[in-house]
């Protein structure tokens, strides 16, 4: 096991992933708050903060931060998800001291200069506009809005333009106040010494104190349809069903179900809809999982007339899955998932991200052997049970494009329930 974990007196966690054969490190802070911790009036603030956190601290301006990293050949980046926000650098291992210090500085001492807020506001509004021009992004956002209607999980991570247009420094300072040490983990993956990293983290983060718990709603899955007519060459179609949380006993059965139905070229949907019928270029399934719930989603892109044939075939494959999967299909899925996990561990960034997110969601670090055990423990009966559980719940559907030949939502419900 390459992992060592230390929890400071204030609850801040320090995790190192010692890989002595590597010459680079990924280091960063993962925070267990994100877009699902936003109320409607400030939807988009977590993402806006991600943009602003590199724009200057009490001792460095934005260019100074970039120069300290890039003069050493490094890179810095960040991302915002619904349940986590991450800030990280990737540098040569010999520069880990600088990496640690800069990460601590931007997370704790950002001042959000007014002129930078105004400039970045325009950048984010342009980003929102770019996503609005991408039908696959629009149909996914519409699906989430329907499946998680009225919840933060159903609102876009980027937020609406009108919110971003009104964000000021006070909103950023208010949101960063959610950065409780008990909801933070500092991760360094690469050629590092655990004791040294702990001492650095103690000096940087050891003074932080506990905060009030942030706003967060329980996951509630809902049904309905969001049908958006556009003059486009393709119809982008998605469907979602109630999923399970990452720690639910059916979590890995759900992942195998998604993989068998739409996880690769041998998946049922790919074979039936693309290979046999030539109806699509892309079709896939993807679980959406958080600690307390989620959804199982599906996507297919087809022509405006072909959608009339696609949709019944799609629901027929979902109904068949309720009768079970074969041992051969499940074993292939296990091999694919084991390979995917193994491949992810070849990158220090993906290792750091996996360990941090698991720790934030579960409070523990899992070895690759423990993950493989969960993958391998699933039986064909477990997958069938997951299919019956998932497809019995409320169905959300979204579509974007010329929808004259798209079956109605009520007809889709009948297709799924047909004997």
Q: What is the pLDDT of residue 419?
A: 43
Looking up tokens 């996914």 gives 140
Per-residue pLDDT of the chain (419 residues; tens, 9 = 90+): 689 999 999 999 999 999 999 999 999 999 999 999 999 999 999 999 999 999 999 999 999 999 999 999 999 999 999 999 999 999 999 998 899 999 999 999 999 999 999 999 999 999 999 999 999 999 999 999 999 999 999 999 999 999 999 999 999 999 998 899 999 999 999 999 999 999 999 999 999 999 888 898 999 999 999 999 999 999 999 999 999 999 999 999 999 999 999 999 999 999 999 999 999 999 999 999 999 999 999 999 999 999 999 999 999 999 999 999 999 999 999 999 999 999 988 899 999 999 999 999 999 998 889 999 999 999 999 999 999 999 999 999 999 999 999 999 999 999 998 74
CB 115 within 8 A of CB 52: no
Which residue in the list 50, 141, 306, 317 is annotated as catalytic? 50
- Domain boundary assignment for the chain: 3-206, 224-417
CA distance linking residue 262 with residue 285, whole number of Å: 4
CA distance linking residue 352 with residue 13, whole number of Å: 13
- Is 50 an annotated catalytic residue? yes
Q: What CATH code is assigned to 224-417?
A: 3.30.830.10
DSSP 35: G
Nearest to 176 by CA among 28, 353, 50: 50
3-state SS assignment for residue 356: helix
Residue 184: beta bridge partners? 31
Side by side, which strands form the sheet with 184-190?
Answer: 3-7, 13-18, 184-190, 24-31, 85-92, 75-80
Residue 3: beta bridge partners? 17
Looking up tokens 């559980």 gives 389
Would 3-206 and 224-417 be classified into the same CATH topology? yes
CATH of 3-206, one of 2.40.37.10, 3.30.830.10, 3.40.140.10, 3.30.70.120: 3.30.830.10
Q: What is the pLDDT of residue 140?
A: 97
pTM: 0.93
Token pair in block for residue 60? 């460095």
């Amino acid at each position: 096991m390459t992992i060592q974990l230390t929890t400071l007196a204030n609850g801040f966690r320090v995790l190192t992933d010692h890989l002595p054969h590597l010459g680079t490190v990924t280091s960063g802070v993962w925070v267990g708050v994100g877009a699902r911790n936003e109320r409607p009036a400030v939807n988009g603030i977590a993402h806006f903060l991600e943009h602003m956190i590199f724009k200057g601290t009490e001792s460095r301006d934005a260019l100074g931060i970039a120069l300290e990293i890039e003069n050493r050949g490094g890179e810095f980046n960040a991302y915002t998800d619904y349940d986590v926000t991450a800030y990280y650098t990737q540098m040569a291992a010999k520069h880990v001291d600088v990496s640690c210090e800069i990460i601590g500085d931007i997370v704790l001492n950002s001042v959000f200069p007014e002129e930078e807020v105004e400039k970045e506001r325009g950048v984010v509004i342009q980003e929102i506009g770019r996503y609005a021009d991408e039908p696959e992004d629009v149909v996914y956002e519409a699906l989430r809005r329907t499946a998680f209607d009225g919840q933060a999980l159903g609102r876009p991570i980027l937020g609406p333009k009108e919110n971003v247009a009104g964000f000021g420094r006070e909103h950023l300072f208010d949101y960063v106040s959610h950065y409780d040490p008990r909801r933070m983990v500092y991760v360094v993956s690469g050629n590092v010494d655990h004791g040294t990293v702990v001492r650095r983290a103690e000096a940087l983060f050891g003074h932080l104190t506990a905060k009030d718990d942030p706003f967060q709603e329980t996951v509630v899955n809902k049904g309905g349809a969001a049908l958006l007519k556009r003059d486009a060459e393709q119809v982008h179609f998605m469907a979602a069903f109630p999923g399970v949380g990452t720690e639910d006993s059916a979590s890995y059965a759900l992942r195998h179900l998604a993989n068998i139905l739409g996880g690769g070229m041998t998946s049922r949907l790919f074979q039936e809809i693309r290979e046999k019928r030539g109806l699509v270029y892309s079709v896939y399934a993807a679980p959406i999982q958080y600690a307390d719930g989620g959804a199982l989603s599906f996507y297919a892109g087809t022509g405006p007339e072909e959608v009339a044939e696609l949709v019944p075939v799609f629901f027929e494959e979902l109904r068949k899955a309720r009768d079970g999967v074969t041992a051969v299909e499940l074993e292939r899925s296990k091999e694919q998932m084991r390979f995917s996990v193994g491949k992810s561990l070849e990158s220090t960034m993906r290792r750091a991200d996996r360990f941090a997110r698991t720790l934030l969601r579960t409070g523990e670090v899992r070895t690759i052997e423990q993950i493989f055990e969960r993958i391998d423990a699933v039986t064909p009966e477990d997958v069938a049970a997951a299919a019956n559980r998932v497809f019995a719940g409320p169905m959300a559907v979204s579509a974007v494009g010329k929808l004259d030949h798209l079956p109605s939502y009520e007809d889709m419900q009948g297709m799924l329930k047909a004997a």
